[in-house]
Amino acid sequence: MPPPLNPAQHAAVEHMHGPLLVLAGAGSGKTRVITHRIARLIERGVPAKAILALTFTNKAAGEMAERVHHVMKERGNKGSAKGITICTFHAFGLQVLSRERKALGGTFTIFDQGDQLACVKDILQRVERDGDRNFDASAILARISNAKNAFMTPEDYREREGDEYDDITKVVYPRYEAALRNFRAFDFDDLVCQVGRLWGEKPEVLKRWKESFRYLLVDEYQDTNGSQLALLRLLADEHKNLCVVGDDDQSIYAWRGADVKNILEFAHHFPGAKIVKLEQNYRSTAPILAVANAVVSVRTDGRHQKTLFTEQPGGEIVQVGIAPTPEAEALFVAKGLKACMTDEGRRPRDMAVLYRSNGQAKLLEEALREHGIPHKVVGGQQFFERKEVKDVLAYLKLALNRQDEISLRRVLNYPPRGIGETSVERLGLHALAKGWSLWQTVERVDALTDVPAAAREGCKSFEKLMAETRKRLLVDRVHASVVARELTEKAGIKKDLEVSSGGAPAAARRWGNVEAILRTFKNREERVTKKGNDAAHEADLAGFLHALTLNFDDEEEAVVDRVTLSTLHGSKGLEFDIVYLVGCEEGLLPHNRTLEAKATDATSQDIEEERRLFYVGVTRARKRLIMSRAKYRLQRGKPMPRTPSRFLAELPEELLNTYEVKSVEGASMEHAAEAATNILAMLENLGK
């Protein structure tokens, strides 16, 4: 039998009506509270279909759904969780917009991250006048995203004086929105923002959704932004049955729009709220928790006071290793991990190395490789952002919706069929001049005399391929997995990957990604068949394709026995027996971008977010935490002294075992020579 709920957890589970804020410290069992609360609501007669639980990742939503069903059985619950909605904010927004298509004026498609970047880059090419200035499209998109999530229209956008990125965003934002309208598309932010606008403008639509969902639960509430808060306030403004679970000490995503004030001011937004604090930690030892509590106890941005504690006895004191150079620090980490594996029998997958910036990973990877330590780097390109996967999905989206110009432009000449960029531009101009859609222009290409013969033939072969695909899906009702495989063969995608990937291993890997998406369709069809539904139904398949577009999580990776290397942001939600937290220096943690900002209130808030990021790193450790820093790092080719992170310096000495890492023994000759050269150069400069 699982252990009983502790008193605080029990209070959160038993609360029935009205707003509830569950302040869940790191490792305090928040998911257990959410799942038991859902089961308890159903026990009390709340229909599962009246419950909406919102998360931030598809993986978290899937795990929560599984645990709810498990808890229902565990508690001997006679009710059923069938019909409950557990999904991400964006997936819920897509559900609302899809069902309310009439109110929105018809069908739409979704701009994924790649489409957004391509659109902004295209606009920049058209509006930039300074040939010596290249703007980062991602930085502009971030500003547009933040504006949208604050319900700021292009007309409302206010640039800050002297900020050239704000200046260019002011120009790009309205053109970006016009491009979305022309493509009949929404981007990811719109999936929440447009729901808020729709509900605000059409009370009758909002009423339907309020009647559908009478109990709301939100996980990781500290990560919500302005538009998500607005959506929740609209949906809960009558029944008030909103339970949010989060930890303001772990709010680390302000750079992508999250607002820590949402959780700090919950009682203001939802008057009469009950607040429950989960402070008993089930993850870490007492010495690690002592450091964690000390880190956040000096926050200056206002916080919900709570102190983590554990009933576990003992535990190792937290260590701090001070290395002469970054190379020595990396070797210190590698040797420590190796000793854990060989002397203690630790599994690599139970250990992690965390750092503030991706640039710190290179030396660490080299050191781990030299010591034969298997490892993986968290991050990289997401599965559904890979070109070959997006190409297959674009073909199927277009087969279902010929007005999906984004997908049409993506695959019209892929694999190459003689329709170059100039021909595509001509097709677009003809569509604009004649009032046709781009698909209609492709269908009528023979009437366009200025389109080269090769491009005309390519358009006709493409149109024939898409007509056959559409017929197979919608008339013959063939499963999407079968149609997609036929399409990849007819279009020549596999052959193109073999030619364009730069070698057999890369081609095999990319084709493996195509096979993975085909398996995804196959798995879906098997699930739907068990339910007795028609897997080839147009609306159902279209919704599934949209859902795949929203899948930010990478494909499920088999459990491998490797040490995890990750940024602190990437480590959120993970935990390990042994954690190395490296680069605890001013300029790395907190990061230089924060330290170099102007002395404003925003700077103070940024520093506090860096503190919370440090706290997240500390609380990833279950049994052993080792922090490290370097005394010197190269800057413009010269070794410069480094200052300990203020977060490290603020910790009471009695909580730490601090020692010098005096040797680079075990390094390769190249690294040892480089470290020695750096130190000698440093001493020489100091002598001058």
Ordered DSSP codes for 421-463: HHHHHHHHHHHHHHT--HHHHHHTGGG-TTS-HHHHHHHHHHH
Catalytic annotation present for 31: yes
For residue 369, give the 3-state DSSP assignment: helix
Closest among 255, 357, 291, 319 to 633, alpha carbons compared: 357
Select which of 112, 189, 190, 220 is catalytic: 220
Concerning whether 220 is annotated as a catalytic residue, the answer is yes
* Catalytic site includes residue 250: yes
Q: What phi, psi does 448 have (nearest 5°)? A: -105, 105
Whole-number Å distance between alpha carbons of 11 and 33 = 10
Catalytic residue selected from 30, 143, 346, 426: 30
Annotated catalytic residue, options 109, 222, 250, 360: 250
Closest CA to 235 of 103, 52, 102: 52
**Tokens linked to 553:** 């999580």
Write down the residue that tokens 């706290």 correspond to. Answer: 615
CB 687 within 8 A of CB 640: no
**Is residue 30 flagged as an active site residue?**
yes
Cα 373 to the chain's mean position, in Å?
28
Active-site hit among 283, 620, 629, 642 = 620
CA distances from 251 to 57, 247, 257, 302, 587 (A): 16, 7, 11, 13, 20
Whether omega for the bond prior to residue 590 falls within 30 degrees of 0, making it cis, is: yes
Task: Residue 269: count other Cβ atoms within 10 Å of its Cβ.
Answer: 17
Query: Which 3-state string (H, E, C) describes 631-672?
Result: CEEEECCEEEECCECHHHHCCCHHHEEEEECCCCCCCCHHHH
Out of 187, 190, 219, 223, which one is annotated catalytic?
A: 219
Q: Is 426 a catalytic residue?
A: no
Task: Identify the residue whose tokens are 């040892």.
Answer: 672
Contacts of residue 212, Cβ cutoff 8 Å, sequence gap at least 6: 49, 50
Give CA–CA dist 212/487, Å, rounded: 40
Distance between the two ends of the chain, CA-based, in angstroms?
70
Tell me, yes or no, if 228 is annotated catalytic: no
Please tell me the distance from the alpha carbon of residue 12 to that of residue 22, in angstroms, as a whole number. 7
Active site residues: 30-31, 219-220, 250, 620
